[in-house]
Structure 1
Amino acid sequence: MAKKVLVIGGSYFIGRVFSILAARETDFELCVLNRGRFPLKNDRIREIKADRHDAQSMQNALGEEEQFDTVIDFCAYGRGDIRSMIKALAGGTKQYIYISSCSVFAPSSGIPKKEDAPLITEKGEYPGAEYAYGKMLLENELKEVCKKSGVAYTIVRPAFVYGPFNYAPRESYYFELMARGQEVPLPTDSHCAFSFVYVKDIARILMGCVGNAAVYDEAYNLAGEEKVTYKSLTKLLGTFADHPLNIKEVTVDEVYRDNIPLPFPLDQDELYDGGKAGETLGFSYTPFAHGLTETYQTFLRSR
């Protein structure tokens, strides 16, 4: 029997890719709940229009009896978002999968962080601090509410996500520069490294988590094995560009002074160990070179 899955969000980046790929599988009966601004228009997906912050809207959309095997929440950001969602599910659910973020970890350098690394405990004063703090609070809320409700939880924490439909100016920042033949800045004195995860890998991992008792009440980092630097990223971009990259070497000080919008860390490693998910699910991450090449080809087709 197909597993009944309620997807909260599901119209933007990670949720959209998951919904599209999961709809191709016969093991899932998908219901996607969001405000309906970006409809999927897929005849294998039931779309429910509601605002998760409007209790009456949610009650009207979900009804009193409908039960789901699993809820996958892509868009919980503020305190109370998970508590109110579980309350709105009058029919209940067996499992709640929350898409958190590796940004919940306390900063450190060197060895990739595993799931038991220290988390942040207060809101910092750096870009993205409020987002990270909110995600940490919601992880705690998830555990508390699920324990009281008798619902199994699963937390997934993606590293830097890349792939088709990415609305964050990460890889697309470089693709746009390459397409226009503009200079590609390379910070030569930045030696930090960071972890990536391909959006299609996240979708595959989530499909493996649905209804899987092995992942109940567990947290997982999602990150490929490669340690990517600005130098290695720029070199890789040059291998699949249709013309030589116009590289401009800059210093970190020049990046800050000239407000160059580089999308990744300049002075702090952001490395994570995604091995636990791979071992639990028998999963292998897509090599970064393959995933980025495929993403670039998708970008070119969309122009």
Structure 2
Amino acid sequence: MSALRTLFIGGTGVISSACVRAAVTAGHEVTVVTRGRSRQRPPPDGVRALEADARDAEALRGVLRGVLGDERFDVVASFIGYSASDVAVDLEVFAGRTDQYVFISTCSVYAHPAAVLPLRESAARSAPLFEYPANKIVCEDLLLAAHRTTGFPVTIVRPAHVYDRTTLPLLAGWTAVERMRQCRPVVVHGDGTSLWNLMHADDFARAFVPLLGNPRAVGEAVHVTSSELITWDQIHLAVARAAGVEPVLVHRSSEDIGRVVEWMDVVLREDFRHSVLYDRSRLGDLVPGFAEQYTVASGMRETVEWFDADPARRTVDESLDEAFDVLAGTRAPVG
């Protein structure tokens, strides 16, 4: 494929930074628009970095006009579209100015529990109580309506749970690892056997970049997910083994956890407790031969090594630590 003139809205997050690196490696000309530079995930050499509030149409137009004039982009990819107003800005600014607009959505848009597994991209979408996927559904619908009525060249990409070396794919984060290393129980929702999908950001990026400039992906929604089947108990075991310990796992219902840790309530009840399995046949058609390079085990080893390399990264949430003691029965509830 020839080099593409690409614009990434966002470029310093877990997913977007990996995609920027992969696009540069593939030889594409990459411009990113962010609110500021990231110390943790700075853009690589060769990337044109612009600073603007991408959710302000005039500010976005201004920064692009100042550097790029009225030229078109082969691809615009939005990693920070979270609301109808966000998408409205991009429809206004990029209509007629790009051959492909890629919107990063989420696999959390699907109705749970799923009526049929594996989930196809055409499966029912519904998230009445979970704001994040509910807003993504609204964004998807606006973009697809624009595609139907005006030909706006949208591609919707749905990732599942993506992590990189700086993130642990546990709601308790590093607090869970510290508890494991202290031989204290870590709480897992349900019975720990529900299936989940974890994908390393570098693997996501390797699947994502070949979708750019692909006319067969326009007007489509595509899963970019891992092929590895893994339960929540297995995820915790992979983290523990990377940390050099055997964990003590205690199982509690999502409802019980939500009563003690309020912010986990909707996430667990509406998303994490449900088994998920995604059909990847469309991705296989569009990116033939794609296969992940990371397993969850190898990814967790990389992540734990990153945290262990700097004590400042190994922070413990004291309120969550206390909540786990309550849920594990080693501390009496307060009040």
* 1:43-78 superposed Cα distances (whole Å, 9 cap, x missing partner): 311011111222221121111412110011000011
Q: Does 1:33 align with 2:33?
A: yes
| Structure 2 counterpart of 1:118, one-letter code | A
1:152-163 correspondence to structure 2 within 5 Å? 152-163=153-164
In 2, the alpha carbon distance for the partners of 1:243 and 1:302 equals 19
Which residue does 2:291 correspond to in 1? 284
Partner in structure 2 of residue 78 of structure 1: 83
Helix, strand or coil for the counterpart of 1:93? coil
SS at match of 1:19: helix
Return the letter of the residue paired with 1:224.
S
SS of the aligned residue for 2:137 comes to: helix
Aligned to 2:138: 137
Aligned residue number for residue 300 of structure 1: 308
Task: Indicate the residue corresponding to 1:220 in structure 2.
Answer: 222
Paired residue type of 2:230: V
Amino acid at match of 1:42: P
Decide whether the 8 Å contact of 1:23 with 1:30 is kept in 2.
yes
Is the partner of 1:113 in helix, strand or coil? coil
Given that residues 111 and 271 in structure 1 are in contact (C-alpha distance below 8 angstroms), is that contact kept between their aligned partners in structure 2?
A: yes
Which of 259, 269, 275 is the matching residue for 2:275?
269
Deviations, residues 120-163 of structure 1 (Å, cap 9, x unaligned): 2xx513xxx11111111111111222445544221111111222
Q: CA RMSD in A?
A: 2.9
Distance 1:250 1:83, change over 3 A: closer
**Preserved contact between residue 153 and residue 218 of structure 1 (Cα < 8 Å):** yes
Contact 1:68 1:91 in 2 (8 A): no
2:56, 2:89 within 8 Å by CA — same for their partners in 1? no
In structure 1, the partner of 2:232 is: 230
- In structure 1, the residue matched to 2:118 is 112
More displaced stretch, 76-85 vs 91-100: 76-85
**Within 5 Å, which residues of 2 pair with 1:186-197?**
186-187=188-189, 189-197=191-199
Q: Distance in 1 between matches of 2:219 and 2:194?
A: 33
Report the AA paired with residue 117 of structure 1: A
| CA distance in 1: counterparts of 2:223 and 2:172, whole angstroms | 21
Greater Cα shift, 265-274 or 105-114: 265-274
Q: Conserved in 2, the CA contact under 8 Å of 1:224 and 1:287?
A: no
Residue 188 of structure 1: how far off its partner (Å): 6.4
Residue 232 of structure 1 deviates from its aligned partner by: 1.8
Q: Is the alpha carbon distance of 1:299 and 1:227 closer, same or farther for their aligned partners in structure 2, counting shifts above 3 Å? A: same
Deviation at 1:284, TM superposition (A): 1.3
Equivalent residue for 1:10? 11
Number of corresponding residues: 296
- 1:174-233 per-position Cα deviation (integer Å, ceiling 9, x unaligned): 445446665322456343222222211221122111111232221111222233222222
Residues in 2 aligned to 1:119 and 1:226: alpha-carbon distance in whole angstroms: 23
- Percent sequence identity is 27
Structure 1 residues without counterparts, runs of 5 or longer: none
Change (3 A) 1:141 1:231: same
Counterparts of 2:243 and 2:167 in 1: how far apart (Å)?
19
Question: What is the rounded CA distance, in whole Å, between the counterparts of 1:81 and 1:146 in structure 2?
Answer: 17
Any idea what SS the aligned residue of 2:108 has? helix
Bigger helix share: 2
Write out per-residue CA displacement over residues 73-99 of structure 1, whole angstroms, 9 at most, x where no aligned residue. Answer: 000011132232132237701001110
The whole-number CA distance in structure 2 between the counterparts of 1:254 and 1:61 is 49
How far did residue 100 of structure 1 move? 0.4
**Which consecutive unaligned segments of at least 5 residues does structure 2 have?**
312-335
Secondary structure, counterpart of 1:271 in structure 2: coil
Cα distance in structure 1, aligned partners of 2:30 and 2:7: 6
Indicate conservation of the 8 Å contact 1:195/1:271, yes or no.
yes
Which residue identity does 1:284 align to in structure 2? A
Cα pair distance change 1:10/1:192, threshold 3 Å: same
